[in-house]
A = this chain, B = another copy of it.
Amino acid sequence: MLTRLESAPPGSQLPLEAVLDTLPWNQDGLITAIAQQHDSGEVLMLAWMNRAAFAETLSTGQACYWSRSRHSLWRKGETSGCRQRVIDVRFDCDGDAVLLLVDQLGGACHTGRRSCFYNGVRGDRVEVLDAPLPALPKPISAKETP
């Protein structure tokens, strides 16, 4: 259905639920999701979403993905604190990818780096470009009382 908008002018609309019903979810029921820092433009990570993850992301305003390794919803930052507040959500032309413009708290990468894309191709080598960020301070509620 999304392809109906290919030749449509700006401002044209379709109902979201009908679009979701007809997205080309892959054989595992997933679409690709790119997270980008909304103001700097840095591409932070690539992950996957099923329909439940997409719905939760919209309802909570916090990025939620599908973990292909754990086979469960992955509420980004739930344990690390490195949450992604969602500023905008966009589908590509054929609807098999979604772009999340987010405000990333701390590092998006499980290595502690700001972005997962820290391995640069340099001639015939691959080189680490970035260092991990300092760990986020624990929230007050998680601190031990004296």
Q: Any chain B CB within 8 A of the CB of A7?
A: yes
Q: Which residues between 4 and 37 of chain A lie within 8 Å of chain B, taking CB atoms?
A: 5-17, 19, 32, 34, 36
Inter-chain contacts of A73 with B (CB < 8 A): none
A109 contacts B93, C-beta separation under 8 Å: yes
B128 contacts A12, C-beta separation under 8 Å: yes
Known: A16-B124, A97-B116; 16 extra A-B contacts, CB below 8 A, are: A2-B119, A8-B128, A9-B128, A9-B131, A12-B127, A13-B125, A14-B125, A14-B126, A15-B126, A32-B32, A36-B43, A46-B96, A91-B126, A92-B117, A93-B109, A93-B116
Residue ranges of A at the interface with B (Cβ–Cβ < 8 Å)? 2, 5-17, 19, 32, 34, 36, 40-43, 45-46, 58, 88-97, 99, 109-111, 113, 116-131
